């Protein structure tokens, strides 16, 4: 989509990472991306915003970190001195089968994400796919899409926050409406 096109048209990988963080909400629902960087490292942290079971959270975060890795590899075939995937929980069954195709995996870290360290000047090299005109167009489309989403984003965010399973499971639509102080019909209409 427009976000992927903007990432490919960015001037540098660092610019692409900044764009990804800015417009993450267009594709990364339920998980927030926070980028932390200094002279020697860059950490693309994933922070869950919805409550899922530990198994689903782990699967979701592991999949997203792997996708981020593949995106960085696409933009920078020669990666910086070091790259690690920080994943939640303990190593899962069968990890040995695909671990050789990935950078070092670090489990049970305090944060989850993609950690780059060492010579990060590679992130500032011009991308061969850079296209300033196409980038402006793609960013304008991302802004438009973002503006359209934000109209109803408050109710969506409120529903996500309220969708926490209790002893009897997830709340019903009627219970959600009650929690949000709305009628079920109004909640359905706002979600549509």
CB 60 within 8 A of CB 52: yes
Q: Which string of b and e fits 152-175 if b means at least 16 CB within 10 Å?
A: eeebeebbeebeeeeeeeebeeee
pLDDT at 80: 60
Residue 161 structure tokens: 């926050």
Distance CA 87, CA 105 (A): 7
185 C-beta neighbours (distance < 10 Å), count: 9
pTM: 0.74
pLDDT in tens, the chain (192 residues): 899 999 999 999 999 999 999 999 888 878 999 999 988 899 999 998 887 788 888 889 999 999 999 988 888 777 667 899 999 888 888 888 888 888 999 999 889 999 999 888 888 889 999 999 999 999 999 999 888 775 545 787 778 777 777 778 888 888 888 888 888 898 888 888
As given in the structure block, the two tokens for residue 37 are 């960087």
Angle at the Cα of 166 from the Cα atoms of 161 and 172, rounded to 5 degrees: 70
Separation CA 182–CA 46 (nearest Å): 32
Residue-level pLDDT at 150: 58
pLDDT of residue 151: 52
- Considering only CA atoms, give the Rg of the chain: 19
The candidate with the shortest Cα–Cα distance to 48, out of 4, 89, 96, 2, is 89
- Supply 58's token pair: 């782990």
Residue 166's pLDDT is 73
pLDDT in the model for residue 133: 96
Structure tokens given for 115: 């950690």
């Amino acid at each position: 989509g427009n976000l992927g096109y903007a990432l490919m048209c960015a001037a540098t990988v660092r610019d692409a990472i900044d764009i990804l963080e800015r417009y993450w909400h267009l594709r990364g629902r339920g998980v927030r991306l926070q980028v932390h960087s200094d002279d020697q490292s860059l950490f693309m942290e994933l922070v869950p915003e919805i409550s899922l079971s530990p198994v689903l959270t782990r699967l979701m975060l592991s999949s997203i970190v792997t996708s981020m890795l593949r995106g960085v590899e696409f933009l920078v075939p020669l990666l910086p001195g070091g790259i690690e995937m920080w994943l939640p929980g303990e190593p899962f069954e069968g990890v040995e089968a695909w671990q050789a195709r990935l950078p070092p995996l670090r489990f049970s870290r305090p944060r989850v994400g993609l950690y780059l360290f060492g010579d990060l000047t590679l992130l500032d090299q011009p991308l061969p796919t850079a296209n300033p005109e196409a980038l402006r167009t793609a960013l304008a489309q991302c802004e438009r899409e973002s503006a359209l989403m934000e109209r109803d984003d408050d109710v969506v965010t409120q529903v996500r926050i309220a969708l926490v399973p209790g002893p009897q499971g997830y709340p019903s639509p009627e219970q959600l409406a009650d929690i949000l102080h709305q009628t079920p019909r109004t909640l359905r209409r706002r979600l549509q």
